[in-house]
Amino acid sequence: MAVLIEIVTGERAVTDRLSEGGLTEEVVARLGATSDPRLREIMQALTRHLHAFAREVRLTDEEWLAGIRFLTATGQKCDDVRQEFILLSDTLGLSSLVDLINHSDVESMATEPTILGPFYVPESPWRDNFDSIVEYDDGGEPTIVRGVVRDASGAPIAGAVVDVWHNAATGFYAVQQPDEQPPTNLRGRFRTDDEGRYEFRTVRPVPYPIPNDGPVGQLLRDTGRHEWRAAHIHMKVSADGCTPLTTHVFDRESDYLDSDTVFGVKESLIADFVPDEDGTLICVYDVVLRRDEGSVHP
Ligand code: BEZ
Ligand code: FE
C-alpha cells in the first residue's frame, strides 16, 4: 500500500510540472543548467515571454503551424544580399527598440542614432569634400549636403569620417540594382576639414518601399500596413576618441515621416532641403559626436 501511494504521488508531481500552469517553470528550470549567465538569462526570459504570449492568445495548432511556416519562409528568403529576418525585426520595431536601448543618451547632446538598414556596403570610395557621389544620372534633383561635425562642447572635429549612402530617384539603392547602377553610385566616405566641415553633391533621396516580395511584405499587407520609408540619407560618422554614430537625415518634405514602416524617424533628424538661387537644393546637417576616449578611429 505504501508503495502504491508513493507511485501515485510521483505521477501526479510529474503531471503538475508538465501541466499548462507548471510547464513554463519546468522549461526555465532546465535552462538553469546553462553555464553562460547571460545566455541563461536570455533563454529563461525568452521562454517565459513566449509561453505567456501563447497563453494570452490561446494559440491554436493551426496558428502555431502557420507561425512555423512563416519563420521557415523568412529564413528561406535570406541570401548574401537579402536579410528577411532583419526586415522582420525592423517592421516589428525591434531594431529601433534595440537601437534605443543601446545608443540613446539624450543627456549627451549627441546626434540621435537610428537603424543601419540592410543597404550599407562597407568600404565606400573615399571622395574629396565638394565631390559628387552621383555616378549615374537618373534625373534626381541636384542637392548639396553640408555640415560640421562637432563634439558636445561645440568644438569642431577635424578628420572625422562621414560615410554616406542613399537611394536613387528610382527609389533603389545601387546594391539593389547591380545591372543598372554602378556599385558605388550614391555612396562615399568623406573626411572633415580642419574646421570639422564636410560637403558633398548628390541628388535628393526619395521615399521607397522596403523589399516586399517576401513573407514580411505579405505580413505588412495582411496587417493593413504600408511598406514605405520616408526619404533619407544614411550616415555613419566616426572620429578618434568619439563614440561612432549611425544615423539618417530625413527630408522634411517627404511623405511617411509619421508612419515610416521601420519606425526610424526622429524629429531631431529631420532637415530642410532648401533651393538656392540656381535651384540646387541645400541641406545643412551638423552632427554632434559623443566624446569617448576609449573609442579608436575605425
Ligand atoms: C534602409 O533604410 O535602407 C532600410 C531600413 C530598414 C529596412 C529596409 C531598408
Ligand atoms: Fe535607407
Residues 173 and 218 in one domain: yes
Residues 53 and 92 in one domain: no
Residue 207 maps to a domain? yes
Domain count for the chain: 2
Atom 5 of ligand 1: nearest residue by CA position = 117
Residues 157 and 193 in one domain: yes
Closest atom, ligand 1, to C-alpha of 248? 2
Residue 228 maps to a domain? yes
Residue 145 maps to a domain? yes
Residues 107 and 21 in one domain: no
Q: What is the CATH number of the domain that holds 179?
A: 2.60.130.10
End residue of a domain, out of 15, 44, 59: 59
pLDDT score for 4: 47
Residue 155 maps to a domain? yes
pLDDT score for 114: 95
Residues 32 and 155 in one domain: no
- Ion ligand 2: residues, Cβ under 5 Å: 117
Atom 4 of ligand 1: nearest residue by CA position = 117
Could you give the 3-state DSSP secondary structure of residue 209?
Answer: strand
Residues 163 and 88 in one domain: yes
Residue 241 maps to a domain? yes
Q: Could you tell me the residue range of the domain that residue 154 belongs to?
A: 84-289
Please write down the long-range contacts of 265-269, taking CB distance under 8 Å and 24 or more positions apart: 265/114, 265/230, 266/112, 266/114, 268/111, 268/112, 269/111, 269/112, 269/114, 269/232
How far is residue 90 from each of residues 99, 130, 209, 260, 280, measured CA to CA in Å?
A: 11, 33, 13, 11, 33
Parallel, antiparallel or unpaired: strands 232-238 and 245-251:
antiparallel
Q: pLDDT digit of tens for each residue in the chain (298 aa)? A: 444 444 555 666 776 888 888 999 999 999 999 999 999 999 999 999 999 999 999 999 999 999 999 999 999 999 988 899 999 999 999 999 999 999 887 777 899 999 999 999 999 999 999 999 999 988 999 999 999 999 999 999 999 999 999 999 999 999 999 999 999 999 999 999 999 999 999 999 999 999 999 999 999 999 999 999 999 999 999 999 999 999 999 999 999 999 999 999 999 999 999 999 999 999 999 999 999 877 666 5
Residues 120 and 256 in one domain: yes
pLDDT score for 298: 57
Atom 6 of ligand 1: nearest residue by CA position = 117
pLDDT score for 297: 62
Distance 123 CA to ligand 1 centre (A): 19
Atom 9 of ligand 1: nearest residue by CA position = 117
Burial class for 154, CB neighbours closer than 10 Å (0-12, 13-18, 19+):
exposed
Residues 211 and 128 in one domain: yes
pLDDT score for 225: 98
Distance 294 CA to ligand 1 centre (A): 30
Apex CA 182: angle with CA 216 and CA 211, to 5°? 5
Residue 74 maps to a domain? no
How far is residue 287 from each of residues 48, 148, 279, measured CA to CA in Å?
A: 41, 6, 25
Residue 295 maps to a domain? no
Residues 40 and 114 in one domain: no
Distance 118 CA to ligand 1 centre (A): 6
pLDDT score for 6: 47
Could you give the 3-state DSSP secondary structure of residue 248?
Answer: strand
Residue 194 maps to a domain? yes
Residues 20 and 90 in one domain: no
Pocket test for ligand 1, best of 74, 83, 115 (most atoms within 8 A of CB): 115
Pocket, ligand 1, Cβ cutoff 6 A: 87, 90, 115, 117-119, 210, 229, 262
Residues 18 and 104 in one domain: no
Question: Got the DSSP string for 14-82?
Answer: HHHHTSTTTHHHHHHHHHTT-SSHHHHHHHHHHHHHHHHHHHHHT--HHHHHHHHHHHHHHHHT--SS-
Residues 122 and 162 in one domain: yes
